[in-house]
Structure 1
Amino acid sequence: MSHLQLSLNMDKLKDAVMNSNIESVIKASIVLILNEYMEKERDEHLNVSPYERSNQRQDFRNGYYDRELMMSIGAVPLRVPRTRSGEFSPSVFEKYQRCDQALILTMLEMVVQGVSTRKVQKVVQELCGETVSKSFVSSLTEKLDPVVRKWADRPLNAAYYPYIFVDAMYIKVREHRKVVSKAVYIATAINSQHKREVLGLNVSHEESYEAWKEFLQDLKARGLQTPRLIISDAHAGLKKAIQKEFIGTSWQRCTVHFKKNLIQTMPKKGMGEVKSDLKRIFDAEAPDEARRLKEAFVTRYQDHSKLQTVIDKLEEGFDDAIQYMNEPVHYHVYVRSTNSLERLNQEIRRRERVIRIFPNTPSAYRLLGAVLMDYAEVFKQKRHLFRGDDS
């Protein structure tokens, strides 16, 4: 393209300088320059100057339309020239659309990181001098829909996940003009490269066998192979769904939840030594050693009238709580509880508290999915949990 000779309206520019603040001066200058630039671009596209007659004419002028261009200094109102055929498109918007996109992405990132829409409005106004509506900020998040959906539906058959963690948390959602509780189902894993990975999520009704079965079936449909171990709490519906969908997979009851449940049934005072003996059982490295320590615990406290419930619950849940001991020792600390998933849930909860009540289920799925995508990237950047032989 040849160099453009811009003829600016210096009177307008002088008035802006004399009567406005420096921000208005900058905006006025940009408006004049870009309007003139687009005018010259249209002349080059038509291959004729205004009022010129020529056989080389490519098209005809067809007036102007108003359009705002979002820049780092705020929205700039432009007078965009157009042609009769509509084929002319100024390069201005191509050149500056990255700034527009950067602002939108920044706003989206603020929302994902737990910044309320009200605060996003305030930040944008301070940075750009423009007021954006709450509905505009909310509508921007809809741009996440295809991105989150593509990630959530990605195939899982390209890798093997020997250890899978599943859990559910509850959020509040508006539905049919009422505020209801919804369960957020989340699955993470340790892959064969000894790294954590987020596998997927779903937002549905309260925890139940049917809901858990649907969630696990979706993971299988995406190519998830039968894992060696699934770690979770002792929700009855979840246990049943695991047994149904993953035949041959061992279920590991979260030892942290299990020990808490046992301790809650103990008397409040004088239980220090009992708790130490209980903890020692799950510090064992092999099932036989843990079983020996469990039998010693039962023998020692079986005549204690206030510990009968503890002993009964320990006997009932013991085998499910020591399945991790059948795995290589260097995995034990990572697969005996759902602590890693609990920490992830806390981060989700921190962002969810800002919103408090989601306007609908799709919006909840969208934002929580974006948060999990963010953490999936963090997991990729982290070092391996360990390096060693899995045999």
Structure 2
Amino acid sequence: MWKSLLAAGLLVVGTATSAPFSKDALTEDFDYSFFGGLFGNGAHEFIDNLVDTTPNTKNALKMAAILRNSLESDALEDFNQFFGFIIKYGKEYKSQAEVAERFRKFQDSLASIETNSRENPELEFAVNKYDDLSEEEFFSGRLGTYAKKTKKFDAYVPKTAPDNVPDSWDWRDHNGVTPVKDQQHCGSCYAFSVVGTIESQYLVHKKTELDLSEEDLVACTYLNDTEYHNNGCHGGNFEDSFAFAQEKGLCTEKDWPYDLDDMDTPIPQCTKKPVAAKIKEITSVSDEDDMKVSLYENGPLLAEIQAGGNLFRDYHSGVMDPPTPPDGWNINHGVVIIGYGTTENGTDYWTIKNSWGKGWGDHGYFKIRRGTDCLGVTSGVFAVSV
């Protein structure tokens, strides 16, 4: 490990505590036992010399170093990972008590990853930036789509038979997907999925790359508007979101940047901005064969699913295929389906773009089983035209 760090220019010759260290060294194969050698030998000097680390994160690391002194020996391996976790994700904690609380939750996450990996060998799980949160904390601000069935959309009519489209397709390979975004701790997935689908349609059909404003949609469909009835960071529905994008249009992210990083952030008043994009038509696609054809013919699809549970937070790769709950799927999340395919062992899947940042899942994407209504994926699927 030392040789690799030297080669990467992340350590210089000298003591471990005096050598500058960058979070770029914290790759997937990093040996976190490295941090164990710091304590009792100048950990504060190491922290002070960290590269690209804010003063608040350095302060959190110093409080973590104090916490280490109170830990039993069997917790030190977990602590080494936690120490690296703080560096890698630039964590900022306000008190010694918060550091202790976040470490306990980080340990719970490590245990969950170990259990999930053992019980789901077809999936890969890994630590991500959310692992100092409880599952309840994590999901409370990252879901938020609910079904509203008052409007009947025209049904999609495929032009091609399912057997006549490619066996696999991924719009990332055909310039049809814009970058993954992060809704932060705000239940605005309904806005991100609608906006992501519209951005893809402009790429596919107009060869135009747009970065549209989710906050425009959130603010202007909030309950204080009599025309639309979404609930800001506490959820929304596609029906009102589509109506706004079709009737009013969306501005760009540059004109209205996203600043809703918490459930309690006040929703701003709707402000008129220059319109950059509008929807022309919305069709409903309810059959997975038709979904495959529509995705290939027209571009990425918007879908409602049930997210949550212990498979989701630390998912890294593989095809999710959880059993259907006894009471059926409970729709709570909006996503964009951007591809489909079949694994080497014959499992059909959908490739899905999420809105939890590039640090979650497989660089912001995940896969679910195709053909079995996994996660209730056929509950609400829509194709849009621009």
The structure showing larger relative contact order (alpha-carbon pairs under 8 Å, at least 6 residues apart) is 2
The two structures have a TM-score, normalised by structure 2, of 0.25
The two structures have a TM-score, normalised by structure 1, of 0.25
- Max radius of gyration: which structure? 1
